[in-house]
A = this chain, B = another copy of it.
Amino acid sequence: MKHNFGAGPCILPQEVFKEAAAAVLDFNGLSILEVSHRSADFVKVMEEARENVKKALNVPEGYTVLFLQGGASLGFLIAAYNLAGKHKRAAYINTGTWATKAVKEGANAGLEAIQIASSEDKGFNYIPDASEIPEDIDFLHYTSNNTIVGTQFKSIPETNVPLVCDMSSDIFSQPIDVSKFDLIYAGAQKNLGPAGATLYIVKDSILGKSSLHIPTYLDLAVHAKKDSMFNTPPVYSVFVSNLNLKHLLKNGGVEEMAKKNQAKADLLYNEIDNNPNFEGTTEVKDRSLMNVTFRLTDDSKKERFDQLWNDGNIVGLKGHRSVGGYRASMYNALELKSVEALVSIMKSL
Residue ranges of A at the interface with B (Cβ–Cβ < 8 Å): 2, 4, 6-12, 17-18, 20-22, 24-25, 29-31, 33-37, 39, 69-74, 77, 101, 104-105, 108-109, 187, 189, 193-197, 213, 215-218, 230-237, 240, 315-316
With CB as the reference atom, state the residue of chain B lying closest to A187: B232
Residues of B within 8 A of A24 (CB): 17, 20-21, 24
B237 near A236: Cβ-Cβ < 8 Å: yes
Q: Is the CB of B74 within 8 A of A217?
A: yes
Contact A196 B20 (CB under 8 A): no
Interfacial chain B residues near A218, Cβ < 8 Å: 77
**Separation of A28 and B6 alpha carbons in the complex (Å):** 15
A234 engages B195 (CB within 8 Å): yes
Using A196-B234, A235-B196 as known contacts, say yes or no to A33 and B9 having CB atoms under 8 A apart: yes
Is A104 a contact partner of B30 (Cβ separation < 8 A)?
Answer: no
Of the candidates B6, B29, B232, the one whose C-beta lies within 8 Å of that of A34 is B6
| B37 with A195: CB separation less than 8 A | yes
CB <8 Å contact, B21 and A34: no
Number of copies of chain A assembled together: 2
Q: Is the CB of A31 within 8 A of B6?
A: no
Q: Contact between B8 and A33 (Cβ–Cβ < 8 Å)? A: no
Q: List 14 A-B contacts (CB under 8 A).
A: A9-B37, A17-B25, A18-B25, A36-B316, A69-B74, A70-B70, A72-B231, A73-B216, A194-B236, A195-B234, A196-B196, A196-B234, A196-B237, A234-B234
Q: Is the CB of B21 within 8 A of A9?
A: no
Assess the B215–A9 pair: CB atoms within 8 A: no
In angstroms, how far is the closest chain B Cβ from the Cβ of A229? 11
Q: How far is the CB of A28 from chain B (nearest CB, A)?
A: 10
Known: A24-B17, A195-B235, A316-B36. A217 touches B30 (CB 8 A): no
